[in-house]
Structure 1
């Protein structure tokens, strides 16, 4: 029972830290956290709450 409580506490406190990591990564890429990307955007990462990080496609030059 103690092991279960310990693991619950560890996972409970790690989840917000992991989610903030994903949002910071998206911000560094100049992306936006959305539920779905538009036609002119591509998926470059994940965000919290089941959202994806979308970034505008760069035209070939």
Structure 2
């Protein structure tokens, strides 16, 4: 039982670090965290709390 509680404590302490990693990755890609991407956007990564990192599609010129 003590081992189970220790594992739960470790996992809950790592969750904020993981969420911050995904948010920083989205900002680095110059994307925006949203619940769903618009028609002119593509999914490039994931953000915290099940959000999607959306980036506008680049048109060929």
TM-score, normalised via structure 1 length = 0.96
Q: Can you give the 5+ residue segments of structure 1 that lack an aligned partner in the other structure? A: none
* Superposition pairs of residues 45-60 of structure 1, within 5 angstroms: 45-60=45-60
What do you get for the CA RMSD once the two structures are aligned? 0.6
Q: Which runs of 5+ in 2 are unaligned?
A: none
Q: How does 1:1-61 map to 2 (within 5 A)?
A: 1-61=1-61
Deviations 1:15-48 (A, max 9, x none): 1100000000000000000000010000000001
Q: How many residues align?
A: 61
